[in-house]
Amino acid sequence: MRFSFECSGETMGSLEVPTSTENGGSNPPPGGSRNHTAGGGPLPAVANSTPAQPSENDATRKRKASMLPLEVGTRVMCRWRDAKFHPVKVIERRKMPNPASNDYEYYVHYTEFNRRLDEWVKLEQLDLDSVETVVDEKVEDKVTSLKMTRHQKRKIDETHVEGHEELDAASLREHEEFTKVKNIATVELGRYEIETWYFSLSRKCDLKHPPGDEIYRSGTLSMFEVDGKKNKVYGQNLCYLAKLFLDHKTLYYDVDLFLFYVLCECDDRGCHMVGYFSKEKHSEESYNLACILTLPPYQRKGYGKFLIAFSYELSKKEGKVGTPERPLSDLGLLSYRGYWTRVLLDILKKHKGNISIKELSDMTAIKAEDILSTLQGLELIQYRKGQHVICADPKVLDRHLKAAGRGGLEWLKNPACIYYY
């Protein structure tokens, strides 16, 4: 596994950092300037005439040049990969690697989108006509707060802490400051070079397959169980790897209490990681999964639901019901809702007669609260005479199954292939 690094003014270990961010002064105006007359031709020589006024184009150039380099905190419009301009905030800046150039590039956050889309952009992608004056953020927040309704404030607060519900305001600011710039640009895994989404620490790994025990094999798929206590460095590196793609991921340095289940596609070159999930060895809250990650090249192929299904198969073998640890990431929540929906609808469609939530929980190892919330979201449950009643009309079930799409569970056709002790 290889990494391509980007850094914001600091080095990590013995890694070579290509460029560094600076707080340098202003740049000279790019290129030269030309003087033109309003009519497009040269002015005749006139004694005691006043000098020609610079054209609007020259004035615009000078005004834009005076803004450069843009300050951290500047808000401006930026051309994104869809060729449209979107509002961004400058998070960091650094000089271009060309020593002969005084130009800067800027690390920006697209304020309409998730942090995973933050990136370094060149000056030509920015619309300098849209630059907003840099103001003190505390003052700006106070002025904005006075103009917002209570409902608007609550919506903004919910957006800011999404995925970080366990952090207080001070910890959240510290987290955002420390992780504001992605330090690793790409990760090479097997035949894939993957663009990362967030900041994380990580180290190169040359293993051909995960350490630990292979507890599942079917076709080209294998699952390895890795004990964090026996393979501490590998477990920590899995956490670092997940942090590149999960903004809310908390880094655990003490992985002794966790088991890691690593799913791989195997070929003659080795076992290539598809994704993984972790779980506590002993959870008082019945958590059967702590963190789940499907790497971007393997997403939308059913692997996420495979990992979820595997966690519930382990719970069945343990004779327990399970539920994922909260908070879930946005992608994790979508995967779980899809899994719960598919599993429950399949059972309800095939089952004859009445069935209770307790019976569904015993059959699936899904916690009763998760079953209840899923069925309520599908409007398949009603509260009558002090108890919840499942209303499973066959036509309604078919409609929901069609909307749920491909289950992804066909990968786990034979749970008997799980060798779990």
Interior/surface letters 169-183, b for 16+ CB within 10 angstroms, e for the rest: eeeeeebbeeebbbb
Predicted confidence (pLDDT) at residue 89 exceeds the cutoff of 80: yes
Predicted confidence (pLDDT) at residue 362 exceeds the cutoff of 90: yes
The predicted model scores a pTM of: 0.58
Predicted confidence (pLDDT) at residue 19 exceeds the cutoff of 70: no
Mean pLDDT lowest among 118-122, 135-139, 196-200, 353-357: 135-139
Q: What angle do CA 287, 315, 260 make, to 5 degrees?
A: 65
Predicted confidence (pLDDT) at residue 257 exceeds the cutoff of 70: yes
Type and span of the H or E element at 89: strand 85-95
Domains of the chain: 185-417 (3.40.630.30)
Q: What digits encode the pLDDT tens for the residues 271-303?
A: 899 999 999 999 999 999 998 989 999 988 889
User: What does the DSSP 8-state code read for residue 162?
Assistant: T
- Whole-number Å distance between alpha carbons of 368 and 370: 5
Cα–Cα distances in Å, from 129 out to 63, 64, 348, 381?
10, 8, 59, 55
Mean pLDDT lowest among 83-97, 101-115, 262-276, 283-297: 101-115
Q: For residue 416, give every residue at least 6 positions away whose Cβ sits within 8 Å of its Cβ, in sequence order, or none.
A: none
Q: What is the pLDDT averaged over residues 316-339?
A: 87
325 is catalytic: yes
Give pLDDT, residue 16: 33
Q: What digits encode the pLDDT tens for the residues 395-404?
A: 889 888 888 7
Which one from 132, 285, 325, 379 is the annotated catalytic residue?
Answer: 325
Residues 263/273, Cβ–Cβ less than 8 Å = yes
Provide the pLDDT confidence category of residue 158 given band limits of 50, 70 and 90.
Answer: very low
Give pLDDT, residue 199: 59
- Per the prediction, the chain carries an average pLDDT of 75
| Helix axis angle, 394-404 to 330-350, nearest 10° | 150
Helix, strand, or coil here: 177?
helix
- Whole-number Å distance between alpha carbons of 138 and 29: 32
Give pLDDT, residue 248: 61
Closest CA to 268 of 188, 212, 190: 190
Predicted confidence (pLDDT) at residue 161 exceeds the cutoff of 50: no
Predicted confidence (pLDDT) at residue 166 exceeds the cutoff of 60: no
User: How far apart, in Å, do the first and last CA atoms of the chain sit?
Assistant: 30
Provide the pLDDT confidence category of residue 36 given band limits of 50, 70 and 90.
Answer: very low
Give pLDDT, residue 324: 96
